[in-house]
């Protein structure tokens, strides 16, 4: 059975994940590959995940949101995304390219006060539910991506850049609203948690968009 290469781009706010995701998708399509482009948490390709994303990230709900509740919503989004979109399309595309994924879930989730063991248990359960003997999808959360592209940059500058951009929610983004120290902790978490995945780490500070794009292609063995 043909199986799409599943690639996830990761990093903290404002490091260029969305830009680089789109560039990678465009390059692969230009080379004749079929590509499914998606994201977590929440994608318009599965509308229910966007409703749950709003509950999880819209700052208007933050005062009522508990630590485990936010994590359960995050995992619900992932479960729906994997079972309704990713797994059914593994044999229909050459590549599945995703903006954010489980590494972000670990890094932000622990930053919010959850224990890493709790996050791993939940994500393994969600991924295991999506895996069967027939679909060839790994039952282990850290093994589902063929590659994780970790874009690492200055978290303080990145957060300022993200906040200056058009905001998704009128009340602001709950994660961005936690400030510089929170984002520095998330960046620290990503640094060591990324070692559990098949990770290509790329430092983006001081580099042009094109330079980072070329490093991504090289890291995936797709340079020409």
Tell me the CB-side half-sphere exposure of residue 82, using CA atoms within 13 A: 27
Mean pLDDT across 80-102: 97
Q: What integer pLDDT is reported at residue 78 of this predicted model?
A: 98
With a pLDDT cut of 70, the percent of the chain lying above it is 99
**What pTM did the predictor assign?**
0.95
Q: What integer pLDDT is reported at residue 213 of this predicted model?
A: 98
Domain boundaries, given as residue ranges, for the chain: 5-219
Q: Which segment of 33-47, 150-164, 194-208 scores lowest on mean pLDDT?
A: 150-164
Answer whether residue 151 shows pLDDT above 80.
yes
Answer whether residue 206 shows pLDDT above 70.
yes
10-44 in b/e form (b: 16+ CB < 10 A) is bbbbbbbbeebbebbbebbeeeeeebbbbbbbbbe
Three-state secondary structure of 157-195: HHHHHHHHCCCCCCCCECCHHHHHHHHHHHHHHHHHHHH
User: At 202, is the pLDDT very low, low, confident or very high (cuts 50, 70, 90)?
Assistant: very high
User: At 1, is the pLDDT very low, low, confident or very high (cuts 50, 70, 90)?
Assistant: low
Q: What integer pLDDT is reported at residue 62 of this predicted model?
A: 95
Q: What integer pLDDT is reported at residue 2 of this predicted model?
A: 59
Q: What integer pLDDT is reported at residue 223 of this predicted model?
A: 84
Residue linked to tokens 């890493």: 116
User: At 205, is the pLDDT very low, low, confident or very high (cuts 50, 70, 90)?
Assistant: very high
| Closest to 127 in 3D by CA, of 87, 70, 72, 95 | 87
Answer whether residue 87 shows pLDDT above 70.
yes
Q: What integer pLDDT is reported at residue 167 of this predicted model?
A: 85
User: At 101, is the pLDDT very low, low, confident or very high (cuts 50, 70, 90)?
Assistant: very high
Mean pLDDT across 188-212: 97
- Whole-angstrom distance, CA of residue 70 vs CA of residue 78: 13
Q: What integer pLDDT is reported at residue 46 of this predicted model?
A: 98
Report the alpha-carbon angle 102-155-165, nearest 5. 90
Radius of gyration of the chain (CA): 17
Contact present, 202 and 216 (Cβ < 8 Å): yes
Residue linked to tokens 């990230």: 57
Q: Residues 5-219: name the CATH superfamily.
A: P-loop containing nucleotide triphosphate hydrolases (3.40.50.300)
User: At 133, is the pLDDT very low, low, confident or very high (cuts 50, 70, 90)?
Assistant: confident
What confidence tens digit (pLDDT) does each residue in 31-66 have? 999 999 999 999 999 999 999 999 999 999 999 999
Give the DSSP H or E segment for 149. strand 147-152
């Amino acid at each position: 059975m043909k199986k799409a290469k599943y690639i996830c781009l990761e990093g903290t706010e404002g490091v260029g994940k969305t830009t680089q995701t789109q560039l990678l998708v465009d390059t692969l399509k230009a080379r004749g590959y079929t590509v499914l482009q998606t994201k977590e948490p929440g994608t318009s390709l599965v509308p229910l995940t966007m409703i749950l994303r709003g509950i999880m990230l819209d700052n208007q709900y933050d005062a009522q949101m508990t630590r485990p509740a936010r994590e359960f919503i995050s995992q619900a989004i992932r479960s729906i995304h994997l079972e309704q979109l990713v797994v059914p399309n593994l044999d229909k595309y050459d590549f599945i390219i995703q903006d954010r994924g489980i590494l972000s879930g670990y890094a932000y989730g622990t930053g919010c006060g959850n224990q890493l063991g709790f996050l791993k248990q939940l994500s393994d359960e969600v991924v295991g539910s999506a895996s069967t003997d027939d679909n060839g999808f790994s039952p282990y959360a850290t093994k589902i991506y063929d590659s994780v592209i970790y874009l690492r940059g200055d978290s303080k500058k990145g957060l300022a850049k993200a906040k200056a951009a058009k905001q998704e929610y009128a009340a602001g983004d709950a994660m961005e609203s936690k400030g510089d120290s929170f984002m520095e902790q998330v960046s620290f978490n990503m640094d060591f948690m990324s070692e559990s995945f098949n990770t290509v780490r790329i430092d983006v500070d001081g580099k042009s968009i094109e330079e980072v794009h070329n490093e991504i292609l090289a890291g995936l063995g797709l340079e020409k």
